[in-house]
Amino acid sequence: MGAPFYVGRTVYFTDRGIEELVERRGEETVTLEWIAEQLRTFVDAHPEFETPIERFATWLARDDEDDED
């Protein structure tokens, strides 16, 4: 098995969930539609996270805008 994705990087406390995601589902292929549905389900269950999830989704949607220059 290869080295974890975080080798040589600072690992923050919040990276633990990201590490688990990569370990459990890193080989899967998903669509953005599937991710959007998962985010909606999460916000429905945890409405206190609506604002950060909205910001994250907007960031993902606009991530390529800087490449157009």
Which residues neighbour 69 within 8 Å (Cβ) at sequence distance 6 or greater? none
User: What pLDDT is stored for residue 63 in this prediction?
Assistant: 79
**Model confidence at 6: pLDDT above 70:** no
**Model confidence at 1: pLDDT above 50:** no
Smallest CA-to-CA distance from 21 within 42, 4, 44 is with 4
Return the domain boundaries, the chain: 28-64
Q: 18-67: per-residue pLDDT in tens?
A: 889 999 999 999 999 999 999 999 999 999 999 999 999 999 999 777 66
